[in-house]
Structures are given as C-alpha cells and as structure tokens.
C-alpha cells in the first residue's frame, strides 16, 4: 500500500521552559559547541547526524512554557560505549534516573534534562 507519509522519523520536538539553558545542556551532552547569539526564541534546531532532527521548543516568544515531561523516554541518543557515556554524565553531574540496564544485545540508562524530560542513552 502506498502512502504520501514516509517511513522515516523526521524531527523530535522537546518542550523546554528555558531555551538557552536547554541548548547548553543538550550541546554539552553531545559535545557540541554553540553560538549563544544563534539561540533565538522560540526554537533551536540541534545539529544532529542523519535524518532525524532534534528541535528544542520553548513555546510562544516572551512566555515561559510550563513543561509536563513524560515519565518515559521518547527518544534516545546512541553510544558505542555505554560505560564511558555513563561515566561522562556522572562526572558532569547530570540527573541519572536509572543505572545501566543490560540485556543480551543492548544496554541503556536514562537521564533527565533541565525540564525533567527523560533522555535515554543506548548502545543498541
């Protein structure tokens, strides 16, 4: 069956209350630099590899958005070394919500961003 909707995730939208703080947090997590002057309300399009994008969305300009984060991760960032990734977030003082969970062919752990959004880091 044909569909005009492609079988591809395009962009993940993450609601945030403080765009500048969130840009810094996500860029720090991913080892990216950013230009503070390039952050313009209400959105910031993260530089992400491949097809799927990550857009931090702060709501209407001039208003602080109330964020109700999901209790579960809605996306994950990939890592080739789960222990090195876990060590990095520990050293940087990120809010870690789970220890490393290991299964036969994958491992993951979860952290919280400044608004309480759950972000998974996964090697599978």
Predicted pLDDT of residue 2: 83
pTM across the whole model = 0.86
Predicted pLDDT of residue 50: 78
> Other CB atoms closer than 10 Å to residue 30's CB: what's the count?
13
Q: What whole-number distance in Å separates Cα of residue 107 and Cα of residue 37?
A: 37
Cα–Cα separations (whole angstroms), residue 82 to 19, 28, 41, 94, 100: 28, 17, 33, 15, 8
Tens digit of each residue's pLDDT, the chain (124 residues): 787 668 887 889 999 999 999 999 999 999 999 999 999 889 999 988 877 899 999 999 888 899 999 889 989 999 999 999 999 999 999 999 999 999 988 999 999 999 999 999 999 7
Residue with tokens 């945030």: 16
Task: Give the DSSP letter of residue 51.
Answer: S
Please identify, in words, the CATH class of the domain defined by 69-124: alpha beta
The first and second tokens of residue 28, run together, are 């720090």
Predicted pLDDT of residue 4: 63
């Amino acid at each position: 069956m044909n569909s005009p909707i492609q079988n591809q995730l395009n962009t993940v939208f993450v609601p945030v209350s403080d765009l500048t703080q969130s840009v810094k947090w996500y860029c720090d997590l991913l080892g990216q630099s950013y230009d503070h002057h390039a952050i313009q309300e209400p959105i910031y399009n993260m530089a992400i590899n491949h097809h799927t994008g990550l857009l931090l969305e702060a709501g209407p300009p001039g208003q602080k958005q109330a964020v109700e984060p999901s209790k579960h991760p809605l996306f994950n960032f990939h890592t080739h070394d789960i222990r090195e990734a876990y060590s990095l977030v520990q050293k940087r003082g990120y809010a870690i919500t789970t220890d490393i969970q290991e299964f036969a062919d994958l491992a993951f752990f979860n952290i919280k961003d400044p608004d309480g959004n759950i972000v998974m880091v996964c090697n599978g």
